Amino acid sequence: MKVACVGGGPASLYFSILMKRVDPSHDITVYERNPAGWTYGWGVTYVDELLNNLHNADPESARAINENSFRWDSWVVHVHDRMTVTEEHGDEGFGIGRRRLLGILAERAGSLGVRIEFEREIAGEDELADADLVVAGDGVNSVLRERHADHFGTEVTVGRNSYIWLGTTKVFDAFTFAFVETPHGWIWCYGYGFSKEHSTCVIECSPETWRGLGFHQANEADSLALLEKLFADMLDGHPLIGRAHADGRAHWLNFRTLTNRTWYRGNLVLLGDAAHTTHYSIGAGTDLALGDAAFLASALHEDTHLQPALARYERERRSSIVGTQRAARYSAQWYENLPRYISLPPAQMFTLLGRRHSPLLPHVPPRLYYRIGQVAGQFESLRSRLGSKAARHTHGGTHG
C-alpha cells in the first residue's frame, strides 16, 4: 500500500511505524510543513498504562520514550498558604518534551524506511493522487478535513475559560496545582516536569479574571511578569517561558473541543486532533493520538479492503474513547465552576478535584458529594474486610 501521512505529529509518525512493522513493503511518506525539530508546546503527559501498550506495539520506540521521560507518583495542591500533598496515585505519571517525543518517533520511523519530508505543505489530497491512503494527521485546524467540512460534519465547541501554555526552569517533582485568588477572581496553574531542566505550566482563569487582570491588552513580556508574581510561591524564583511571537503578543487561547460525524471519506481518513480533541485538563491528548494510530493500523491489517477497514477503525475507535471524552467535558466544567469548590476545606477540595470527571458531581452540593464518597469508601472497606474474613473461614473449614 502507498500511504501519505499529512502532518508530522505523534499520531502520523506512530501510525507509520506500526504500518511498517506489520508489512515493511508499505510505501509510506510523512509530510510536515514545518522544519525538522520545530514544534509548539512544552511537555506532554501520559500514564503507565500507555507505556505498557507502547511496549507491546513497538518495544524499541517504547524503550526510548521511557528512557527520556520524567516520572512522578504524587500530587501537590496549593491554595493560598494551604498545601495538600498526597502520595497516593492510581497510576505512575510521566512527562516528556514534545520535541523529544517527536524526535524519537521520527528517528524510529526513518529506521524502518518511512520517508519524512519536512517543510512540505500539502494543501489538498489532489497533490497525493497516487496514494492508496491519505492520512490527515494535520491537527485541529486540518486543511484536508476543512476541504470537506460538510462531509465530515465537523463541530467545534469553544470553552469559556482562557488558558496559556508555558514552560519554566522550575522542575516539579510532583504534579502540582496552584490556585491563587486575585481581586478579579481565581487563577490557577497545572505544573509538571518533563525533563531534568524544564516543566510545563498551563495557566487558566475565567474570562472575567482574564480581563480584570489586563491580559486582554498585555503583551507577552508583561503577561509573564504578572504571572510570575502571582505564582511566585510555586515557582520559587524561576521564570516562566513563553512562545516567541514576532509581534510580542501573549498566546492566550480558549480550548476548542472538536468532533466529527464521520472520520473518513474515500481514501482520506482523520487521525488524532484532526478527528477529535479532548480538554487538556485530563492529559489524554498524546494517549489518544497514539491510540488512534494503533487502531487504524490494526484495522488495515485485519481487513485488506480499504473502505471496510476505515469503517471498522471509525466504529471501534469512536466507541473506545467515549468515556475519555465524557471525562474531559466534566473536567473542563469543573474548572469553569471553580468557585463552587474552592472554599471547601483543603482535603475536601482536593478529593473533589480528583473526582471532577464524575457526571453526578455537578448536580450534588459539593459537601454532600464528599460525605457520600466518604461513606461509600468506608462501606467498601468494611465489605472488603468481611470478605477476607469469610474467605479465611472457608479456607480453614475446608482443611480443618
Q: With bands split at pLDDT 50, 70 and 90, how would you rate the model's confidence at 168?
A: very high
Determine contact, residues 290/11, Cβ cutoff 8 Å. yes
Of the ranges 203-207, 346-350, 379-383, the best mean pLDDT one: 203-207
How many other CB atoms sit within 10 Å of the CB of residue 399?
6
Taking 80 as the threshold, does the pLDDT of residue 378 lie above it?
no
Taking 80 as the threshold, does the pLDDT of residue 73 lie above it?
yes
Q: With bands split at pLDDT 50, 70 and 90, how would you rate the model's confidence at 399?
A: very low
Question: What would the mean pLDDT of 62-66 be, rounded to a whole number?
Answer: 97
Question: What would the mean pLDDT of 336-361 be, rounded to a whole number?
Answer: 92
Average pLDDT value over all residues in the chain:
91
Determine contact, residues 58/293, Cβ cutoff 8 Å. no
Q: With bands split at pLDDT 50, 70 and 90, how would you rate the model's confidence at 85?
A: confident
What is the CA angle 207-212-215, rounded to 5? 75
- Quick one: which of 222, 184, 176, 183 has its CA closest to 203? 176
**What is the C-alpha to C-alpha distance for residues 122 and 120, in angstroms, rounded to an integer?**
7
The residue assigned the cell 474474613 is: 389
What does the pLDDT look like over 99-140, one tens digit per residue?
999 999 999 999 999 999 999 999 988 999 999 999 999 999
The beta-strand segments (E) located in 263-374 are 264-265, 268-270
**What is the C-alpha to C-alpha distance for residues 88 and 102, in angstroms, rounded to an integer?**
31
The pLDDT score that the predictor gives to residue 88 is: 57
Inter-residue long-range contacts of 86-93, CB under 8 Å, 24+ positions, other chains counted: 86/350, 91/47, 91/48, 91/49, 92/47, 92/48, 93/45, 93/46, 93/47, 93/175, 93/192
What does the pLDDT look like over 5-30, one tens digit per residue?
999 999 999 999 999 999 999 999 99
- Quick one: which of 318, 300, 315, 302 has its CA closest to 133? 300
The pLDDT score that the predictor gives to residue 25 is: 97
The pLDDT score that the predictor gives to residue 393 is: 47
